[in-house]
Amino acid sequence: MLVAISMDGNNQLYPLVYAIVDNETDRSWKWFMSNLKCSIGEPDNLVFVSNWMVSISNAIRAFFPTTFHGLCTCYIKQNMVTNFKDSTVVGIFRDAARIFRMTEFQTKWDELRSFRDNAITKYLEDIGLQRGMLQLWFYERRNYWASRMTLHFDYCETRLASETDKGRQYRIEPIDCYRVHMRDNRLDDIVNLHTKECTCKEFDALGISCSNAIVAAKEQNIPIHSLCNQFYTVDSLMIAYAKPINPLATYLNGRDLLDM
């Protein structure tokens, strides 16, 4: 089975398309990608994440040549456990994979470089669902969010609360009506409320206000939820799960059991 999965605004798996094929070959993956492109087009900032399979890479290059293709960090982590058998290395890699700021990533990368005479970083550089479950997911998530009164998902609300706590000690130095210079004892950033960007890169990457943006927004009397991407609104999720997943027809002796 070939499957393309995305993430919804509540940080949950969202199945896009799937297909049943004989083998995972170049031909089957290219056929799959051609149909995926017909379904979703080629939206801006599209990113593919997969395991390390040449056929997948070939198909992505053929049908989505302008997109970025990365490897799944869980897949890489499992390979590192198998190849290097060092929990410390795996822990540093896990931390590095979750970092937004380039300077902090470089620190973790330098730590990895110190292991095994650079063998870890060289390895990383060289790397370059059943339908019934889908039916249940769509039904449960659609009903759950239809009964909620909040405008944004739990994931967004939880992250905003966490980021708000981080910014309590920040010092604010306004630059103009949109840009604000933020300082604390460790970091030094500039946030732009108009373009929804911050030098920490977290605001840009996630579309959820980072701690800098939250402090700056409160200083300017701007509601922090208004800065979050529409992707995280309950309305957008209800649209995503609006169409029901119907069960597969079950056949017995060439006849549909549902018609018996």
Contact 100, 202 (CB under 8 A): yes
Domain ranges in the chain are 2-126, 153-227
Tokens found for residue 7: 């993430």
What element of type H or E holds 19?
Answer: strand 13-19
User: Given this model, what pLDDT does residue 243 score?
Assistant: 73
Q: Residue 29, exposed/middle/buried by CB under 10 A (0-12, 13-18, 19+)? A: buried
- Identify the bridge partners of residue 256 per DSSP, sorted by sequence position: 251
User: Given this model, what pLDDT does residue 30 score?
Assistant: 92
User: Given this model, what pLDDT does residue 128 score?
Assistant: 62
Contact 73, 50 (CB under 8 A): no
- Identify the bridge partners of residue 6 per DSSP, sorted by sequence position: 14
pLDDT along the chain (260 residues), means of 10: 85 84 88 91 85 84 86 78 80 82 83 80 67 63 76 88 87 88 85 92 90 91 90 83 62 40
Cα separation, 5 vs 15, in Å, equals: 4
User: Given this model, what pLDDT does residue 256 score?
Assistant: 42
This prediction's pTM: 0.55
Q: What's 185's DSSP letter?
A: S
Cα separation, 240 vs 146, in Å, equals: 12
Cα separation, 171 vs 129, in Å, equals: 48
Report the C-alpha dihedral over residues 220, 222, 228, 230, rounded to 10 degrees.
-140
One-letter identity of residue 41: G
